[in-house]
Amino acid sequence: MPLPEYKVVVMGGGGVGKSALTVRFVHSMFVEKYDPTIEDSYRRNLTVDGITVALEVLDTAGTEQFMSLSTLYMRSGDGFLLVFSLTATESLAELHSIREQIQRIKEASLPVGAQTQRTPIVLVGNKLDLVHERQVARDAAVQLSRSWGGVPYYETSARKEINVTEIFEDVVRQMIKADHAT
């Protein structure tokens, strides 16, 4: 039997570590300097709670000239990692509009009556290892995750490999659940 396929879209401001997290997850290494304009998708299988799924991870670069392109990404995504940097306060604020857009687009594509079904999202505060440059308190992020209806929140380090697999496992778990709900 073919594996169930899911697409995860990694979004967030420039420089927060979207590519570093993606490459760490897919290739188990840390890239110091990754071309910020590269937008690519990667494939990896992942087993969560005994279920193996084929994951496609789209690492976005935020270079979309036209809104329609990000709309396309959002429509095609089954789940989303919304990443900010713990070292940049404004990167957390940037996620508001991204999340609103996702809600709008995903809800519009749901069958009538299923509008309350929630889109699989994980909120990710990256660069946890840069302790002395930290600007965002855990509470601020937890508050945001609550205001989004209690989406899971993780603090990660792509550099030190902290919670990287965990964020993908969490979104996969949510996507499997959403799949079974329909």
CA distance 111 to 105: 12
**Closest by Cα among 129, 130, 124, 137 to 95:** 124
Q: Find the binding residues for Mg ion in span 9-68 (CB under 5 A).
A: 18-19
| Residue 14 interacts with ligand GDP (CB under 6 A): yes or no | yes
| Residue with the shortest CB distance to Mg ion | 19
Contact of 119 with 106, CB cutoff 8 Å: yes
Q: Which positions from 152 through 181 interact with ligand GDP, judged by CB under 6 A?
A: 157-159
Among 70, 119, 126, 145, binds ligand GDP (CB under 6 A): 126
**Site for ligand GDP contains 106 (CB under 6 A):** no
Nearer to Mg ion, 18 or 99 (CB): 18
Residue 84 dihedral angles phi and psi, to the nearest 5°: -130, 170
- Closest chain position to ligand GDP (CB): 17
Residues 20-39 that bind ligand GDP (CB under 6 A): 20, 32-34, 36
Contact 74/8 with Cβ under 8 angstroms?
Answer: no
Both tokens assigned to 151: 């989406």
DSSP type of residue 116 = T
Tell me which residues touch ligand GDP (CB under 6 A): 14-20, 32-34, 36, 126-127, 129-130, 157-159
